[in-house]
Amino acid sequence: MSSAKRYNPDIQQLSGKVRGIGLYLLPIPLALATVIALWKGSPGGVIANLAGFALFSLAAIMARRGLRLENEYRQRKIARAPGTPWKFIAAMTLGIATAVTAWLGTHYGLLISILFGLGALGGFYLLYGFDPRQDKTGKISLGVTSEEVIEMLEKAEKKLAALEATGKQITEPAYSASVQRIVADVRKIINSIEEDPSDLPRTRKFFNTYLDGILRVTDRYVRVQHAEPDAELIKGFTTLLHDFEQTVQAHQSELLENDRFDLDVQIKVLDTQLNKESIS
């Protein structure tokens, strides 16, 4: 029987979220050392240990940020490399923290302390590596640049995150569930574009109009839902929500079938409904 383990994306995602948590344990001994130095009346010891504690804590915070961004980068087929090399900066900070603690806190010689710092930096690299520095372009086709794909996906993800957050503020369970279904379907479209970036031209207008429209609708509803909105507003919101959901599902199906079609009519209909119901 094979001993190979089946790939589990949920486990991989969880692993990406918990990596680096152990770095928060490193400053704990320095906190205790600071208390001891304070009890002994050693100002130099207090300052040295506090400095080490602050640097170790800062390194842990930056490392976790870098690992989170790297995890998001690894999960996507098309993605921009992290702009700030947080993991590298964290490794340097960890090395400095180790050297400072060894030199001022435990009174090792300067050269030995520097070697300790270099060892900490190297250990960080072996455990976590450094930051990705190249954009992931996936299977970019002719007529579509990697910059265009990455930019559109980033904008779509931001709008989708805003829509998801707004949907959770809706108190009506049926409406909230509808918004979450829309979020899930739009995410499938994003995944389809990552698989086949040639879908970008016919999806760009859909994203720009569709996501902006549904965001306006849900935001307006959230702002008035506690003020007993009138029946016409409720009716308009219900209709638009249903139409949005149907439209995104239709677009998703068309992408899966790879059958090119024009979405202009559907988008214009949605725009007309937004203006007609006075929710835009």
Query: What is the C-alpha to C-alpha distance for residues 45 and 106, in angstroms, rounded to an integer?
Result: 9
Residue 60 pLDDT exceeds 80: yes
Residue 53: closest CA among 23, 85, 84: 23
Mean pLDDT of the chain: 76
Largest CA distance in the chain: 79
Structure token digits, residue 278 = 């006075």
pTM: 0.58
In tens, the pLDDT along 227-278 reads 666 666 677 777 777 777 777 777 666 665 554 444 444 555 555 655 655 4
Exposed (0-12), middle (13-18) or buried (19+): which is 2, by Cβ within 10 Å? exposed
